[in-house]
């Protein structure tokens, strides 16, 4: 990949802000859907029991992730063909449409079955867009990174999402302080969604001023979408291995952010304020550890970081959640989730850069996006629903730890496979050639 031309520190910081702004909107809305799941379930998915209603809500939440692989293939190929800037404006447009739709749909009592159907459509639009958004942003950051700093730059893709978590948690805390539970359930939960709609024009302005990466401009030949599809089929092993690599990070993220408020309120019976404060602090913790993970992987390599964190997760995830479930409290919940936040930040900081490195150049966005989207669809997106089901099935409040442990095993094994016999690849930024070239 050609080395980008020199930029000032300020211009690079501005480029990071512009390209990651869409990630902020995506995660802001996703978090709101998870946090207000109990209210959304009553408004759009009334059922015979709270469990059934909540499961329907999380199923619709997860359905959006099933659209991610399709978005990754179609929009990812489009971005690889026309460029990062144009493609990311398209993904933002689709994402904004889904966000506005969910915010404005009347409840089931007003329009009947059309209400849950429209919410589902909004989630599908968001999922379709997000399928290529993450890949497009990550590849853009990787291509603009200074030599030896790719891990640090790509970490800001996910770091921007943590700002969204913090802002959403602060808004939720404010609403719970100013409004009664009845007011929040009736209409107050929509206020943060409308706030997300209001910032859409500002994010569009940021994205429109984005410059194309020099690495993409330097290409002498740009593959058509059909060629991108064919290349992805040829390198399906890289995509599957990449999916398993992402499993650990996407499962951990949705467990400690999207599912945390519901877990704290419905399972541990802690107060709404306590769950919100924990979520806010987890977002701040993620924001700290992500660039640290990227920097460490730039210094010692991706492989050592990925292996060390997955081993820690395998050994401690379920015991930590069991300790929390044995005597639920704000302090214990905070300590456990900060521990899981450390896992997520360090692993993801190394993983995103690694994933941009294992994909062939001509399908860098599409391949990255498909691997990430498949992992999110199979593992992360359904984490709230699977966690809810496991707790109901086993009666064990720590049961989500089983799911997280399984995801960590997938991450551990995929790291061993991807880096087996690849000495050059164990030192970040010094790869002698693309890993996909060998089976």
Percent of the chain having pLDDT more than 70?
Answer: 89
* Structure tokens belonging to residue 18: 């512009």
- How many other β-carbons are positioned within 10 Å of the β-carbon of residue 6? 8
CATH number of the domain that residue 433 is part of = 1.20.1250.20
**Whether pLDDT at 69 is above 80:** yes
pLDDT in tens, 334-367: 999 999 999 999 999 999 999 888 887 777 777 8
* Residue 336 located in a structural domain: yes
| Residue 45, both tokens | 């998915």
CB 214 within 8 A of CB 4: yes
- The chain-wide mean pLDDT, for the chain, equals 81
Burial class (CB within 10 angstroms; exposed 0-12, middle 13-18, buried 19+) of 57: buried
On whether residue 379 sits in a domain, the answer given is yes
Residue 300 has pLDDT above 90, yes or no: yes
CB 19, CB 141: distance < 8 Å = yes
Measuring CA to CA, how many Å separate 191 from each of 87, 106, 263, 275, 417? 30, 14, 22, 19, 46
Highest mean pLDDT among 65-79, 97-111, 257-271 belongs to 97-111
Cα gap 150→143, rounded to integer Å = 8
Nearest residue to 26 (alpha-carbon basis) of 120, 102, 114: 102
Whether residue 96 has pLDDT greater than 90: no
Place of tokens 């959403």: 168
**Residue 34 lies in domain:** 9-437
pLDDT at residue 149 greater than cutoff 90: no
Q: Looking at per-residue confidence, does 428 or 421 come out higher?
A: 421
Chain position carrying tokens 């909540």:
54
pLDDT band at 433 (very low <50, low <70, confident <90, very high): very low
Q: Are 305 and 350 in contact (CB under 8 A)?
A: yes
Count CB-CB contacts under 10 A for residue 59: 14
Q: How far apart are CA 65 and CA 137, in angstroms?
A: 18
> Across residues 92-111, what is the average pLDDT?
86
Is 2 inside any structural domain? no
Tell which residue, 427, 391, 128, has the closest CA to residue 305.
Answer: 427
Give a yes or no: residue 295 inside a domain: yes
Q: What is the reported pLDDT for 48?
A: 67
For the chain, the domain total comes to 1
Q: Is residue 251 part of a domain?
A: yes
11-50: pLDDT as tens digits: 777 778 888 877 787 778 777 776 777 778 888 877 766 7
The C-alpha atoms of residue 273 and residue 178 are separated, in whole angstroms, by 12
Asked whether residue 1 is domain-assigned, the answer is no
Domain-located, residue 407: yes
For residue 3, being part of any structural domain is answered with no
> Residue 306: which residues within 8 A CB-CB, separation 6 or more?
245, 347, 350, 351, 354, 411, 412, 415
pLDDT at residue 435 greater than cutoff 70: no
Taking the C-alpha atoms of residue 405 and residue 317, their distance in angstroms, rounded to an integer, is 6
pLDDT of residue 174: 86
Contacts 24+ apart (CB under 8 A), 326-329: 328/268, 328/269, 328/270, 328/397, 329/270
Distance CA 79, CA 102 (A): 26
SS3 333: helix
């Amino acid at each position: 990949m050609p080395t980008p031309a020199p930029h000032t520190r300020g211009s690079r910081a501005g480029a990071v802000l512009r390209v990651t702004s869409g990630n902020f909107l995506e995660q802001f809305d996703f978090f709101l859907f998870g946090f207000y799941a109990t209210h959304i379930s009553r408004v759009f998915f009334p059922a015979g029991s709270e469990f059934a209603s909540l499961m329907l809500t999380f199923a619709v939440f997860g359905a959006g992730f099933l659209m991610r692989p399709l978005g990754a293939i179609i929009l990812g190929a489009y971005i690889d063909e026309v460029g990062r800037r144009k493609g990311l404006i398209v993904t933002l447009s689709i994402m904004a449409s889904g966000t506005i739709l969910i915010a404005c749909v009347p409840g089931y009592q007003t329009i009947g079955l059309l209400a849950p159907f429209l919410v589902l459509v909004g989630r599908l639009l968001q999922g379709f867009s997000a399928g290529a958004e993450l890949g497009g942003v990550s590849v853009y950051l990787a291509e603009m990174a200074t030599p030896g700093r790719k891990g640090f730059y790509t970490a800001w893709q996910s770091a921007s999402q943590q700002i969204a978590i913090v802002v959403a948690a602060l808004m939720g805390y404010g609403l719970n302080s100013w409004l009664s539970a009845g007011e929040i359930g009736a209409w107050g939960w929509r206020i943060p969604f409308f706030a997300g709609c209001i910032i859409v024009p500002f994010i569009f302005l940021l994205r429109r001023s984005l410059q194309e990466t020099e690495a993409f401009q330097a290409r002498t030949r740009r593959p058509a979408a059909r060629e991108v599809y064919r290349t992805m089929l040829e390198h399906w092993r890289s995509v599957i291995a990449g999916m398993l690599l992402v499993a650990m990070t996407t499962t951990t993220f949705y467990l400690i952010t999207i599912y945390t408020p519901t877990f704290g309120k419905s399972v541990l019976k802690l107060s709404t304020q306590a769950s919100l404060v924990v979520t806010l602090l987890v977002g701040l913790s993620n924001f700290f550890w992500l660039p640290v993970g990227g920097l460490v992987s730039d210094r010692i390599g991706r492989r050592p970081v990925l292996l060390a964190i997955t081993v820690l997760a395998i050994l401690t995830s379920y015991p930590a959640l069991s300790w929390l479930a044995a005597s639920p409290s704000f302090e214990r919940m905070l300590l456990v989730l900060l521990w899981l936040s450390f896992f997520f930040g360090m692993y993801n900081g190394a993983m995103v850069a690694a994933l941009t490195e294992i994909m062939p150049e001509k399908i860098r966005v599409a391949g990255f996006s498909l691997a990430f989207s498949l992992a999110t669809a199979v593992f992360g997106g359904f984490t709230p629903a699977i966690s809810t089901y496991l707790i109901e099935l086993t009666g064990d409040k720590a049961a989500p730890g089983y799911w997280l442990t399984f995801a960590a095993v997938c991450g551990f094994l995929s790291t061993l496979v991807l880096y087996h016999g690849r000495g050059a690849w164990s030192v970040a930024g010094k790869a002698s050639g693309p890993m996909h070239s060998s089976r």
